[in-house]
């Protein structure tokens, strides 16, 4: 296997790349794009793509759909309660999730959307992971549903193309991941709203520091900003500034595990300390959840190099095979906290401002928690076990 290695500047920002080169006949431009994406995946695991197959018009529509949903009264959003089903669909209340040990609960709310399969669909009846019907807000009608589903399939198509680029970067055939990508793929679209985060505690996050669970994440963000990725060699947080028309792409734990850390699942967070509401639309591409993930042939050995902060040589595969559905389920469930009294007050009509002002994690040692956010301790956030 041929592995491209390039010296990296530890503080450089994730690159913004033109994806049109992948579809053009210019072989040199295509090769340069593949190498640039490969390099980014081995560094912080983040890059941005512009000129994709997803139109600016559709991007605008999904962001507006997100605003429309989160502007609904709480009682309307709760009709789509995520906790009302076991197939990961519906509304996630404010402060329901905490991804970073020692931090406050995340000051965000979201709605989960996936491939819309009826309860009598064979995949649902078989109990496949993340399969079931979507829960849509009745107040927004069919127009909301149509935009979400159109966007879902457009971005899923982009994810399949990205997987081809990743395969080529690893020295594999372009179609190496095709069966995984196209055979019963399990993916989740989330619309997320981050209200302005109160500066009442150093432990407050829009979304706390974490690594994504799945294979690849494709994120559309509005103009507000707040997304940061950590350089794990220095502990520095690097802003990923919004780029009009571009998607932020990042590697998740599944791909990091699959490649035995040749690709990086980067630690990232959202800190919305502006006066504006932030809206983002991540698409978590997981592929076929029934697949058993084993380290890719050729990635068994990891070497100590200047371009990856992975420490001393490891002479054999770190990870045992695991079924993807079990791996994702374990990580997903571990990220959700028991509903506190304060968060439960959302069910009783408290305002967003009231909820954000409430402490969601009483008893946390602030000094210890702040320390956990700096430098080496952030490595504990990785949730995948050998």
User: What are the sequence ranges of the domains in the chain?
Assistant: 32-310+324-381
Q: Which DSSP string corresponds to 184-196?
A: SEEEEEEEEEEPP
CB-CB contact of 263 with 255 (8 Å): yes
235 to 197, 291, 366, 372, 383: CA distances (angstroms): 22, 35, 19, 11, 19
Rounded Cα distance between 238 and 236, Å, is: 6
Rounded Cα distance between 330 and 324, Å, is: 10
Q: Looking at the domain 32-310+324-381, which fold is it?
A: Jelly Rolls (2.60.120)
Query: Could you read off the pLDDT of 153-165 as tens digits, one per residue?
Result: 999 999 999 999 9
Q: Strand 247-251's sheet: what is its strand order?
A: 16-18, 46-50, 247-251, 216-221, 278-288, 185-194, 109-113, 90-92
Q: What is the mean pLDDT of residues 193-218?
A: 84
Query: Could you read off the pLDDT of 222-256 as tens digits, one per residue?
Result: 999 999 999 988 889 999 999 999 999 999 999 99
Binned at pLDDT 50, 70 and 90, residue 183 comes out as: confident
29 to 25, 33, 139, 274, 295: CA distances (angstroms): 9, 6, 47, 38, 30
Q: How many residues are listed for the chain in this entry?
A: 386
181-195, 309-323, 350-364, 368-382: which is most confident = 181-195
Query: Could you read off the pLDDT of 74-91 as tens digits, one per residue?
Result: 999 999 999 999 888 999
Give ∠ CA 177-190-325 in degrees, rounded to 5: 45
Please write down the long-range contacts of 367-375, taking CB distance under 8 Å and 24 or more positions apart.
368/102, 369/101, 369/102, 369/103, 369/202, 369/203, 370/102, 370/202, 370/203, 372/100, 372/101, 372/102, 373/100, 373/102, 373/103, 373/209, 374/235, 375/235
Binned at pLDDT 50, 70 and 90, residue 385 comes out as: very low
Give ∠ CA 118-142-346 in degrees, rounded to 5: 80
Question: Exposure pattern of 132-167 as b/e (b: 16+ CB <10 Å)?
Answer: bbbbbbeebeeebbebbbebbebbbebbbbbbbbbb
Query: Could you read off the pLDDT of 364-382 as tens digits, one per residue?
Result: 222 222 223 333 333 434 4
352 to 79, 83, 93: CA distances (angstroms): 17, 20, 11
Query: Could you read off the pLDDT of 106-142 as tens digits, one per residue?
Result: 789 999 999 999 999 999 998 888 899 999 999 999 9
Higher pLDDT, 353 or 91: 91
Beta bridge partners of 272: none
Rounded Cα distance between 83 and 333, Å, is: 12
Percent pLDDT > 70 in the chain is 76
Rounded Cα distance between 269 and 230, Å, is: 8
Query: Could you read off the pLDDT of 17-71 as tens digits, one per residue?
Result: 999 999 888 899 999 999 999 999 999 999 999 999 999 999 999 999 999 999 9
């Amino acid at each position: 296997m041929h592995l491209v290695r390039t010296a990296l500047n530890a503080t450089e920002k994730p690159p913004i790349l033109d994806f049109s080169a992948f579809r053009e006949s210019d072989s040199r431009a295509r090769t340069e794009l593949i190498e640039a994406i490969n390099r980014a995946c081995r560094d912080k695991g983040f890059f941005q793509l512009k000129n994709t197959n997803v139109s600016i018009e559709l991007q605008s529509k999904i962001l507006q759909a997100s605003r429309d949903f989160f502007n609904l009264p709480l009682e309307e959003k709760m009709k789509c309660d995520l906790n009302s089903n076991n197939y990961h669909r519906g509304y996630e209340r404010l402060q329901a999730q905490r991804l970073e040990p020692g931090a406050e609960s995340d000051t965000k709310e979201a709605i989960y959307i996936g491939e819309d399969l009826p309860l009598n669909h064979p995949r649902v009846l078989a109990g496949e992971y993340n399969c079931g019907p979507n829960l849509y807000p009745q107040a927004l009608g069919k127009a909301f549903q149509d935009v979400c589903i159109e966007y879902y399939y457009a971005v899923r198509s982009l994810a399949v193309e990205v997987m081809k680029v990743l395969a080529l970067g690893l020295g594999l055939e372009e179609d190496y991941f095709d069966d995984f990508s196209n055979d019963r793929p399990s993916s989740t679209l989330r619309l997320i709203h981050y209200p302005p985060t109160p500066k009442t505690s150093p432990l407050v996050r829009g979304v706390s520091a974490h690594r994504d669970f799945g294979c690849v994440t494709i994120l559309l963000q509005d103009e507000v900003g707040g997304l940061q990725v950590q350089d794990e060699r220095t502990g520095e947080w690097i802003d990923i500034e919004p780029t009009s028309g571009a998607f932020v792409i990042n590697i998740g734990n599944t791909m990091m595990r699959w490649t035995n850390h040749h690709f990086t699942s980067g630690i990232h967070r959202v800190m919305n300390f502006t006066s504006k509401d932030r809206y983002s639309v991540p698409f978590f591409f997981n592929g076929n959840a029934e697949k058993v993930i084993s380290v890719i042939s050729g990635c068994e050995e990891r070497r100590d190099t200047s371009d990856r902060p992975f420490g001393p040589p490891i002479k054999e595969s770190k990870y045992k095979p695991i079924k993807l559905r079990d791996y994702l389920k374990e990580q997903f469930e571990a990220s959700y906290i028991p509903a506190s009294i304060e968060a439960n007050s959302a069910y009783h009509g408290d305002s967003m401002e009231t909820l954000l002002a409430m402490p969601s994690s009483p008893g946390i040692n602030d000094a210890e928690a702040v320390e956990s956010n700096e430098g080496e301790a952030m490595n504990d956030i990785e949730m995948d076990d050998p």
